[in-house]
Structure formats: structure tokens, C-alpha cells
């Protein structure tokens, strides 16, 4: 919606005061709003970069382009723009201009015409752009040129990483004929959505043990299990 329609604002001030006129204008505002919105869509669909699904489908039909099911509106616009201004002859300068248009200037091209080789490194992220690059290489570069094409996507992340889900186990197994020990757990445990298991297994004929667990255990939506198995 480019603008909000308010019909009563076009009337003289003394007419705007009548309740009947106010109700009539309020009832007609939605209809005129639909007309204004549709006229804006018609204007936008005349240009590739501002067209919606209806408009880009018309451009694709003119260029005999069949979009893939997972193509986004941005990738479809990029493909149409790449094929719209196809001119001949296909020179190296024309190839560079096409790559600038497709890759938004983010690419590296290294020609070696003496060895009939060419290397193209791009950083395309939208769905369908790599297929369009393959189409571009296929119809613009001569068959006697060996082309090496690479598409690198840099994923850089900065900041802090917090693990909201994890798994922690503490297992002790003792096999003894004279087991005597003191086992203490102290500290604080903060988990979110994580199973915590503490298992202690002791097999002895002379079991004398003290187990103390102290501290703060703060859990959110998790399972906490503490098991002590004694065979004596």
C-alpha cells in the first residue's frame, strides 16, 4: 500500500462535518484503496526489479524460463535480469558485465587466453544463481576455452555461543573386596533442556561409603537421574 485513501479529506471543510457524508466516504474508502493498490502493482510489474510473482512470471514466459520449485522471488528476478539484455557478439567485456549483474560485483575472473583457460570464482547464495551461472558460461564462452568455476560461500560468525541443550554423565565403577570411600559432589549446575545422569555402581563384600551431594541444581524442562547401585 503506497498511500492510505481518505476520500473525505478531498471535500470542503463544511461538507466534512455532515455525518451522512462521513459515513458515505468511510464506506467507499476500501474500494478506492483496492484500486490504488492494484494500480501500484501494475506500475511495479512493468520493471523486473520491482515485479511480484505475477509480474516475474510474465517476464519468464517471454524468455522461456521455467523456474525451479524452490526458487525465491529474488533468485527469479536475478535470472530474468541476467537473460534480459543478451546481446551479440559475446566478448570478454560483455561476459564481465553479465557477471557483475549476476553476482552484484562480488566475483573474481582470471583469464589465460594463451593457454585457453579461464577461472571464475563467485560467492552466490540465492537459490538458482549457480544454475544461471552455468547457463551463462555455456552460451557465452567458446567451447575451446577450459573454464574452472568455483562458488565459495563465506559463513562468518562472531559473538558468544551458549549451549541450551546438553548431556552430562558421571559414572563410577568400583570392584573391591574392602571398599571404603567418601564421595562428595559440590558446585552449581545450570542446564536448560538437558538430561543429567549420575550413576555409581559399587560391587563389594565390605561396603562402607558416604555419598554427599551439595550445591544448586537449576533445571528447565529436563530429566535428572541419580542412581546408586550397591551389591554387598
Classify the C-alpha dihedral 29-34-35-39 as positive or negative: positive
Spatial CB neighbours of 139, under 8 Å, sequence gap ≥ 6: 90
| Contact between residue 190 and residue 218 where contact means Cβ atoms under 8 Å apart | yes
| Contact between residue 82 and residue 98 where contact means Cβ atoms under 8 Å apart | yes
Give the Cα separation of 110 and 133 in Å (integer): 16
Q: Give the residue from 133, 71, 76 showing the smallest Cα distance to 102.
A: 133
Q: Interhelix angle for 92-103 vs 73-84, to 10°?
A: 160
Query: Is the pTM value of this prediction over 0.95?
Result: no
pLDDT at 146: 92
DSSP string, 90-150: --HHHHHHHHHHHHTT-EEEEEEGGGTEEEEEE---STTHHHHHHHHHHHHS-TTSEEEEE
Tens-binned pLDDT, residue by residue, of the chain (232 aa): 667 888 888 888 888 889 898 899 899 999 999 998 898 999 999 999 899 999 999 999 988 888 888 888 888 998 898 788 766 667 888 888 888 888 888 899 999 989 999 999 998 888 788 888 888 888 888 888 999 999 888 776 666 666 555 555 556 666 656 556 555 656 665 555 555 555 555 555 655 656 566 666 555 555 555 566 566 5
pLDDT at 103: 86
Tens digits of residue pLDDT in 43-92:
999 999 899 999 999 999 988 888 888 888 888 998 898 788 766 667 88
CA atoms within 13 A on the CB side of 142: 10
Amino acid at each position: 500500500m503506497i498511500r492510505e485513501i481518505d476520500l473525505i479529506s478531498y471535500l470542503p471543510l463544511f461538507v466534512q462535518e455532515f455525518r451522512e457524508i462521513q459515513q458515505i466516504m468511510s464506506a467507499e474508502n476500501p474500494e478506492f484503496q483496492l484500486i490504488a493498490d492494484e494500480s501500484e502493482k501494475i506500475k511495479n510489474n512493468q520493471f523486473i526489479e520491482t515485479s511480484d510473482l505475477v509480474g516475474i512470471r510474465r517476464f519468464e514466459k517471454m524468455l522461456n524460463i521455467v523456474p525451479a520449485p524452490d526458487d525465491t522471488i529474488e533468485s527469479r528476478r536475478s535470472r530474468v535480469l541476467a537473460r534480459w539484455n543478451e546481446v551479440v557478439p559475446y566478448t570478454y567485456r560483455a561476459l564481465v558485465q553479465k557477471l557483475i549483474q549476476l553476482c552484484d560485483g562480488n566475483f573474481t575472473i582470471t583469464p589465460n587466453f594463451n593457454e585457453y583457460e579461464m577461472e571464475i570464482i563467485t560467492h552466490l547464495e540465492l537459490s538458482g544463481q549457480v544454475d544461471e551461472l552455468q547457463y551463462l558460461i555455456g552460451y557465452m564462452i567458446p567451447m575451446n576455452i577450459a573454464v574452472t568455476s568455483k562458488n565459495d560461500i563465506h559463513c562468518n560468525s562472531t559473538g558468544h555461543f551458549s549451549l541450551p541443550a546438553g548431556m552430562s554423565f558421571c559414572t563410577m565403577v568400583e570392584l573391591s573386596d574392602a571398599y571404603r570411600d567418601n564421595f562428595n559432589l559440590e558446585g552449581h549446575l545450570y542446564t536448560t533442556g538437558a538430561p543429567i545422569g549420575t550413576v555409581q555402581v559399587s560391587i563389594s563384600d565390605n561396603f562402607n561409603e558416604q555419598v554427599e551431594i551439595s550445591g544448586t541444581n537449576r533445571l528447565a524442562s529436563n530429566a535428572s537421574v541419580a542412581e546408586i547401585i550397591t551389591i554387598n
